[in-house]
Amino acid sequence: MSKDLRESEAASLDNEVLSLLGRHVSVRKFRPDPVSEEQLEAIIQAAQMASTSSNVQAYSVIAVTDPALKSELAALAGNQAYVAECPVFLVWCADLYRLREAAKPHLGGAATYEDSAENFIIATVDTALAAQNAAVAAESLGLGIVYIGGLRNKIAEVAERLGLPELVYPLFGMCLGYPDQSPALRPRLPLPAVLHRDRYDAGETVRQVKAYDATMSEYLRKRTGGAKDTPWSAIMADRLAEPIRLHMKDFLQGKGFLRR
């Protein structure tokens, strides 16, 4: 099969990459089969090729394979069993520590701005872009993934356990392994809810929620054999009313982020 997809399929909207992206589902049950070292390295190398702001590459990823450590992290993430069960658990960290240490010898005591909201955003975005490339790469290899935001539940404990220095914070985890389930695709918001033309259309984005509420009620009804059909907007209301992870700002400022 030709590797040069750019030339061979440029004109078509029906290519393998779009098809792969369109099939994404989060996987929460994994076969015990290992992920090879070669696979892991190919996935992280693909992650590294993602865009990065001014080439700062402000992220690190910790591949956790030690079973005891995976179990601890599973507990800290809110008892999500798949964190312990997946063969490799990746902890994606926004990382300005390496940057500051690398810069130090050149600075001669000049003031620096690692602690700005801007640099926090840069590190967070760099990490997310790399992680999403990793997700796509993993799925291209037949592996499944799920992002674990629950890693921020007890973020100080996670950071301590993984030895994260100042200016490094765990943004999310990612389970990696061969899927032992085939979840149904989850419908997304209608395209006009997220895609605006030349100007933000506040009325349209909110109007589109009605159609999505119906879609998601139907999806839930099917998945639960009729037991649940809560509309999306009601689920979102519960979510917004939940005081989750209010420790984040203090934690981040303690790590040297977001101080100005």
Interaction residues for its own copies, span 33-92 (CB under 8 A): 38-42, 44-46, 48-51, 53-57, 59-66, 69
Q: How many CA atoms lie less than 13 Å away from 156 in the CB half-sphere?
A: 11
**Residue-level length of the chain:** 260
Residue with smaller CB distance to its own copies, 30 or 232: 232
Residue 97 CB-density burial (10 A; 0-12 exposed, 13-18 middle, 19+ buried): buried
Q: What's the closest the beta carbon of residue 226 comes to its own copies, in angstroms?
A: 20
Residue corresponding to tokens 């658990």 = 89
With CA atoms as reference, report the closest residue to 232 among 205, 213, 259.
213
Among 151, 158, 168, 175, binds its own copies (CB under 8 A): 168
Among 72, 75, 183, 205, binds its own copies (CB under 8 A): 205
Q: What's the closest the beta carbon of residue 153 comes to its own copies, in angstroms?
A: 10
Residue with smaller CB distance to its own copies, 60 or 80: 60
Question: Is 186 near its own copies (CB under 8 A)?
Answer: yes
Judged by CB under 8 A, how many residues of this single chain contact its own copies? 136
| Site track for its own copies across 133-152, x = CB under 8 A | x-xxx-xxxx--xxx-x--x
Q: What's the closest the beta carbon of residue 175 comes to its own copies, in angstroms?
A: 12
The answer to whether the CB of 94 falls within 8 A of the CB of 168 is yes
Using DSSP's 3-state secondary structure scheme, residue 126 falls into: helix
Question: How far is residue 257's CA from residue 155's CA, in Å, rounded to a whole number?
Answer: 14
Question: Is 158 near its own copies (CB under 8 A)?
Answer: no
Stretch that binds its own copies, among 76-84, 104-112, 220-228 (CB under 8 A): 104-112
Question: Is 156 near its own copies (CB under 8 A)?
Answer: no
Question: How far is residue 53's CA from residue 121's CA, in Å, rounded to a whole number?
Answer: 10
Output the six-digit token pair for 260. Answer: 């100005």
